[in-house]
Amino acid sequence: QNSASSALKPMGFRAEDFRYAIGSNEVMKIDSSGRVTMPYQPMFDAYLSANYTTGSSGVYNISASGSWGNRTNTGSHFVNSTGTFTAPVNGKYLFVAGLGVQSYPTSSYLSCEFQVNGARRYIHWFQNYGTSYAAANNSAVINLNANDYVRLVSETHVSATYIGHSSGLYSHFGGMLIG
C-alpha cells in the first residue's frame, strides 16, 4: 500500500505538458507532442570491456565469462561482475546484443542468443564467409516476471575471441522495460 508521500500524483501541468511525480521526483512527463519520458525506467547499455577467448566448440556464457562495463544502468539491475540483468518488475523488455569476433575462420558459425533463467532462447545464427572479423547480432522482446534474469550466450564450433574494449565499440548487451 502506498503512503500519501509515495503515491503517484500529478505534479502540475501547463498547456504544453503533463508531469507526474512520486514525492518530489518527476517520474513521467508527457509533452504537448505526446512524447513520454520516464527517467527512472529500468534500462542498461553494457559492453564487453576486454577480449574473451573460448576453448573449442561449445556454448559459452559470455555474460559470466566476460569483463563488463556499462554506459548506463538505470536502476542498477545489470550487474557488471556477472553480466546479468534481473527484471525488477513483471513486464515486456526489449533486449539487443552484438558480438564482434576476431580472426574467425571461413565457414565457421557462431550464435548471439539470450539465456532466460538459464535456458537458451532467442537464438540468431551467423555463418562467416571470410577469414577476418565476424559479428552476430540479436534483438528480442521478452516477457519477464520480477526476478527473472537474462544473460548473453554464444555457441561456436571453433575457438573464438570475442572482442572487448574499454570504448565499448565491439561487443554489447542492452535492455529496457518497454511496458
- 127-172 confidence digits (pLDDT tens): 766 667 778 899 999 999 999 999 999 998 888 889 999 888 899 9
Task: Give every CB contact of residue 93 below 8 A, 6+ residues apart in sequence.
Answer: 87, 141, 142, 143, 144, 150, 175, 176, 177, 178
Q: Is the pLDDT reported for residue 3 higher than 60?
A: no
152-161 pLDDT per residue, tens = 999 988 888 8
